[in-house]
Amino acid sequence: MACYFAAGILILITKATAIEDAAFWNKVARLELDAGLDMRQNLLRAHNVVLFVGDGMGPNTITASRIYKAQLRTTGRNNPQEAPESSFLRFEKFPHVALLKTYNVDKQVPDSAGTATALFCGVKTNFKTVGVDANVKLGDCESSLDPAFHVHSILKWAQDAGKRTGFVTNTRVTHATPAALYAHCAHRSWECESKMPKGAENCKDIARQLIEDEPGISINVIMGGGRQCLTSNITSTAYDPIDTWACQRKDGRDLINEWEMRRKSQADSYRVVSTSKGLAEIDFTRTDYLLGVFANGFLKYDHEIDPEVTPTLAQMSAAAIEILQKGENGFVLVIEGGLIDQAHHRGTARRALDETVALDKAVEESLKKLHLPDTLVIVTADHTHSLSINGYPDRGSDILGIAQRSKADGLNFTTLTYASGTDIKYFPFNETHVTRTDPSKEDLTDFKYQHQATFLHDEANHGGGEVTVYAIGPWSHLFHAVHEQNFVAHVIGYAAKIGAYKDTENWANCYTSQLPVLILSFMSLLM
């Protein structure tokens, strides 16, 4: 808890000190040591749980985004007194940090469906499968119908315990990551019926499972994109085009309308919204169920958003909390910053960093609405990307800028590069050599600029390294080492007393007074 204070002091010292000499670094270390010594374990039961997932937000992305965010606040981007390298994202101030191993059962480098199943359901599984265990092979419809192979998510565990539930994403609500919260499917691409192959007629597409089956039926808040997967024959506009990477519903059904008819038949208080204006007009005190579908495919990148049409991730997160926190038994909410991954896949590093900052803002705004002493808040990622931070740029250099000049070809190269991508920026020089473009002659700050990749591919690939998990609140100290990724769901279950841990008296062993925890948690809100 005291690390909030120490982190703030560190930034102030860094800004005010011209020479970072031995005395400076000794003082920094002592502040961090004091913060660790003052730390208290919170052994209360987690009444609420909020899990943030930055899709593709690996350690290098977090480092670069931390610097990028600090540099956005400066008037002179290369002012070393601003010390962007010494700054913090909001969630980096959480007291408990660990690492998660992200591999799938059958892949060293994972995809988002398998990693989401691990995060949300507590079981690792095969590449590109959703909500099933490793008995289900990719594309095997028949095996995915066996209930014995189904794994259930923290949303189902929470609903069984009488808690409200919800999820927010800026991807499609049927995309791989959110799908693991409610669906059991042999292929993540089966978002709607038009993408399902022959032989899979007995399997429901992911969109239908969200609208027709539990736990999807009972989810209180659903927000994101993916209209074309839910509704047939939708129209395309310049601002909201058809997502050519995803399927389009063609069976004549309107699942959004079917969701609304179900809510009416059950006399539920509900709202269906499609714009940020509609979201802002909701009376949350009179709304128990919310379906917000704001785009045909993915939502716009944060820097492209028309505020009259598309809500930000922070706005959706705040709205979700307003609805969910009315429940007497608490809630479980999952918030995905999914466009970090999409930006990385395209090799557009600035967009990825900007989307990470947008997720950080959603964390910051959410913390203002949460009662931290009994709310477990976790921020993590599903997998890394192949982004690297390289060369030897000077302290305070623009993270989007030039690292140095290559000794091999005499040309500049950027601090950020990718291992694979759609633009390698090489061209033939003669019969035996190639050369590359000089990035110093390009606009490296353009959101659409594609950073150089080592080898050409249809997109930048995922990475296979560990991701970081940051936590605060009840039982957050259980994140303490290098863990398997599926450990996250089990910590949530244990802390909130849901799922397999519903009968675990985890708060009965409180051997210290919780008064210091309550006081420090309250103080952290004021920092």
| pLDDT tens for each residue of 11-28 | 555 554 568 999 999 999
**Which residues form the catalytic set?**
112
Q: Is 462 annotated among the ligand-binding residues?
A: yes
Total structural domains within the chain: 3
Residue 236 pLDDT:
94
Tell me whether residue 427 is in a domain: yes
Instruction: Confirm or deny that 254 is annotated as ligand binding.
Output: no
Give the integer Cα–Cα distance in Å for 465 and 173.
26
Q: Is residue 43 part of a domain?
A: no
In a domain, 435, yes or no: yes
pLDDT of the residue at 3: 45
- Report if residue 495 sits inside a domain: yes
- Co-location of 439 and 507 in the same domain: no
Same domain, 380 and 417: no
- Greatest Cα pair distance in the chain: 75
By the 8 A CB rule, do 493 and 157 touch? yes
Give the pLDDT confidence score for residue 4 in this predicted structure.
46
> Where does a domain end: 413, 428, 456?
456
What is the reported pLDDT for 401?
95
Distance separating alpha carbons of residues 78 and 215, to the nearest angstrom: 50
* pTM across the whole model: 0.92
382 known member of a binding site: yes
What pLDDT is attached to residue 82?
Answer: 57
Q: Look at residue 194 and tell me if it is in a domain.
A: yes
- The response to whether 341 counts as a known ligand-binding position is yes
* Residues 315 and 340 grouped into a single domain: yes
Domain contains 42: no
Sign of the alpha-carbon torsion through 81, 59, 224, 46? negative
Q: DSSP string spanning 412-476? A: EEESEEEEEES---EEE-SSS-EEE--GGGS-TT-TTPPPPEEEE-SSPPEE-S-EEEEEESTTG
422 is in an annotated binding site: no
Residue 431 annotated as part of some ligand binding site: no
Query: Do 238 and 340 have their domain in common?
Result: yes
97 token code pair: 């940090």
- 449 and 322, same structural domain? no
Question: Quick check: 285 and 322 in contact, CB under 8 A?
Answer: no
Instruction: Specify whether the CB–CB gap between 322 and 223 falls below 8 A.
Output: no
Which stretches in the chain have pLDDT values below 50? 1-7, 9, 16, 75-81, 507-513, 525
Same domain assignment for residues 476 and 500: yes
Same domain membership, residue 452 and residue 343 = no
Is 501 domain-assigned? yes
**Which residue range(s) make up the domain with 22?**
3-37
Q: Give the single-character DSSP code of 68.
A: H
| Block residue for tokens 């059950």 | 266
Same domain, residue pair 70 and 32? no
Residue ranges with strand state E in 230-330? 270-273, 289-293
Query: Is 374 part of any known ligand binding site?
Result: no
Last residue within a domain, chosen from 432, 456, 480: 456
pLDDT for 326: 92
| Together in a domain, 294 and 308 | yes
| Residue 481 forms part of a structural domain | yes
- Same domain, residue pair 155 and 289: yes
Domain boundary among 437, 456, 475: 456
Which CATH number characterizes residue 289's domain? 3.40.720.10
**Same domain flag for 79 and 155:** yes
480 marked as part of a ligand binding site: no
C-alpha Rg value of the chain to the nearest Å: 23
Q: How do residues 88-135 score in pLDDT, each as one tens digit?
A: 999 999 999 999 999 999 999 999 999 999 999 999 999 999 999 999
Helix axes 349-369, 313-324, angle to 10 degrees: 30
Total Cβ atoms within 10 A of residue 256: 17
- Identify the sign of the CA torsion 136, 141, 146, 152: positive
Angle (deg, nearest 10), helices 487-496 and 112-121: 30
Residues 407 and 278 in one domain: no
**Residue 345 is assigned to a ligand binding site:** yes
